[in-house]
Structure 1
Amino acid sequence: MQWVKLYDHNPLKTQLADKYLVREWIIDRIGEEYLVPLLGVWDSFDEIDFDLLPNQFVLKANHASGMNIIVTDKSRLDMYDAKEKFDKWLKINHAYISFELHYRNIVPKIIAEEYLRFNVNEPEDYKFICFDGEPKYCWIDVNRYTDHRRNVYDMNWRLQEWQYKNVKHTDNPVPKPLNFELMIELTKKLASGFSHVRVDWYNLQGRIYFSEMTFTSTSGFARIYPSKYDVLLGDMWKLPINKLK
């Protein structure tokens, strides 16, 4: 992954890492019905007219992961704290922090999306790890903000031994989604043409929504346990050396 960060400068990655601009590409590839409804986009926090937003929504920075505020009651939103966070976040460029160069030319913005309600113990998202356009594994996170658990499955929904970032497995089996095959099909359409990408989805009561595409998960520094599986994943990755010549 460190090699890819330095040498694979496919300009399409910049668009697809942009949580706002990727929406155009998703519409073209699989259709608008798989997008979480967009409520607004702004260049700064001061531009947001909160009177026009519903009581529940999610604010996100378009140029990074984890820079978001989930609003379940607008009247209780701490405006000062939210502004302080986004003013700070919008100044961050991951190209100069973690050398993920495809983030360098993303114009920072704030987007608001419709709030999606998850049930307790329901997977918050499904992250498909893909090589050469083929999904190989899917990891799910459950109760991320309380008793965080993570499972990794192959495409036959068989629980894998290995763990990503050493997060424990769930105590009880997680049922395979009824529309898992459709998720695989959609993932293939988005992953086609890339040596490696992670494609993330939400799946609520059978409704599939696109979440994001990630080309350099945790900038390539997260550990996989046991380490032999890190080697296994590395062996699956055929670096696009010929395409760069």
Structure 2
Amino acid sequence: MNIKHELLKLIPDSIYLKNAYKKIMGKNLNLRTPKTFNEKLQWLKLHNRNPLYTTLVDKYAVKNWAARQIGDSYIIPTLGVWDKFEEIDFEKLPNQFVLKCTHDSGSYFICKDKSKLDKIEAQKRFTKALKRNFFYSGREWPYKNVHPRIIAEQYMEDRNGAFVDYKFSCFNGVVDCVMVCLDRHLNDVKFYFFDKDWNLKRLNVRGKNAPDDFTIPKPPCMDEMFEIAAKLSKDIPFVRVDLFECDGKIYFGEMTFYPDSGFDANLLPETDVYFGQKIDLSKITRR
């Protein structure tokens, strides 16, 4: 048992978040009258505890919910779900697949060739992840009661060997912009924000420093993606809806309530204020 980790669990959520915010962001966290995006995300962790959110962060359970909202055709096929790594029958899985934990963020394993799969390493990784309650690392309440499981999904890539993800910032069903992630296979990942009309929004350092005429090709299905993100984010003060595009077809990824756990120092200060103004806390019933 990690004694330090167990002791951290005993710290009240508001105190834990204030200390983490000061350490990561370098300034005090204003929970009494939050103004910025990052501050309001911390406030939402403490006070906006809609039971539906537990389903929406569960990478297995959310698929059924999303399918009811937008249709089965947008859902990446699930190949299996298990409580323990030892329960996985790899003989029944295809040569390529993706393993994910349902209860956290970042625990996944991409298998492009089953004959080369390091099962021992994968077992260590997932066994450790299944024991961890992701809630305690950033006090993101929706994760607290998610049942830890492993799912296998169909491996996806387009004809160019890519599977591009698009992250939509949504405020009560209104989609402000999409963040496009480029060159994920390189060390220098690039992020750019665009609005619905495909105008560059200078919300981060890279966008601010981009040339006046900078753009990238707009995917043909982008307008439909904005519509899907709006539908999935209805009645939620803020959520980032992650979608994928593969050879012109759209797939649902996940719902992210607290990007970077509300400690996003990469946003420009003016963006932190701009996004913060879009979250109306007055309409939220506090727990």
- The reply to whether TM is greater than 0.5 is yes
Which deviates the most, 116-125 or 126-135? Answer: 116-125
Q: Tell me the distance in 2 between the aligned counterparts of 1:132 and 1:164.
A: 26
Residue type of the alignment partner of 1:63 = H
2:204 maps to 1:163: yes
Conserved 8 A contact 1:61-1:110 = yes
2:76 maps to 1:36: yes
Conserved 8 A contact 2:58-2:102 = yes
Deviation at 1:98, TM superposition (A): 0.8
2:233 maps to 1:191: yes
Q: Provide structure 2 residue ranges, at least 5 long, that are not aligned to the other structure.
A: 1-40
Q: Tell me the distance in 2 between the aligned counterparts of 1:196 and 1:29.
A: 18
Distance 1:50 1:135, change over 3 A: same
2:134 maps to 1:94: yes
Deviations 1:11-52 (A, max 9, x none): 000001000001111121111110001100000110000000
Q: Tell me the distance in 2 between the aligned counterparts of 1:26 and 1:3.
A: 26
Q: CA RMSD in A?
A: 2.4
Conserved 8 A contact 2:191-2:206 = no
Q: Tell me the distance in 2 between the aligned counterparts of 1:87 and 1:233.
A: 37
Residue type of the alignment partner of 1:111 = I
The counterpart of 1:153, out of the listed 194, 198, 209, is 194
Deviation at 1:225, TM superposition (A): 3.8
Q: Tell me the distance in 2 between the aligned counterparts of 1:4 and 1:43.
A: 30
SS at match of 1:157: coil
Which deviates the most, 91-100 or 113-122? Answer: 113-122
Deviation at 1:123, TM superposition (A): 6.6
Q: Tell me the distance in 1 between the aligned counterparts of 2:185 and 2:115.
A: 22
User: In structure 2, what is the equivalent of residue 231 of structure 1?
Assistant: 273
Deviations 1:116-148 (A, max 9, x none): 114669672010000111110100111213131
Conserved 8 A contact 2:166-2:243 = yes
Deviations 1:50-77 (A, max 9, x none): 0000000000001122110010000001
Matches within 5 A, 1:67-216: 67-118=107-158, 124-146=164-186, 147-163=188-204, 173-216=215-258
User: In structure 1, what is the equivalent of residue 10 of structure 2?
Assistant: none
Q: Provide structure 1 residue ranges, at least 5 long, that are not aligned to the other structure.
A: none
Residue type of the alignment partner of 1:234 = G
Deviations 1:190-218 (A, max 9, x none): 10010111101001111000000011111
User: In structure 2, what is the equivalent of residue 8 of structure 1?
Assistant: 48
Q: Tell me the distance in 2 between the aligned counterparts of 1:156 and 1:2.
A: 31
Residue type of the alignment partner of 1:213 = M
Residue type of the alignment partner of 2:195 = D
SS at match of 1:243: coil
More strand by share: 1
Residue type of the alignment partner of 2:263 = F
Distance 1:143 1:179, change over 3 A: same
Q: Hey, which bits of structure 1, 4+ residues long, moved more than 4 A?
A: 118-123, 164-170
Distance 1:81 1:88, change over 3 A: same
Distance 1:145 1:92, change over 3 A: farther
Q: Tell me the distance in 1 between the aligned counterparts of 2:194 and 2:98.
A: 29
Conserved 8 A contact 1:60-1:112 = yes
Residue type of the alignment partner of 1:203 = E
More helix by share: 2
Distance 1:166 1:176, change over 3 A: closer
SS at match of 2:136: coil
Distance 1:58 1:240, change over 3 A: farther
Which deviates the most, 96-105 or 121-130? Answer: 121-130
Distance 1:156 1:87, change over 3 A: same
Q: Tell me the distance in 2 between the aligned counterparts of 1:25 and 1:60.
A: 18
Larger Rg: 2
The counterpart of 1:59, out of the listed 80, 99, 104, is 99
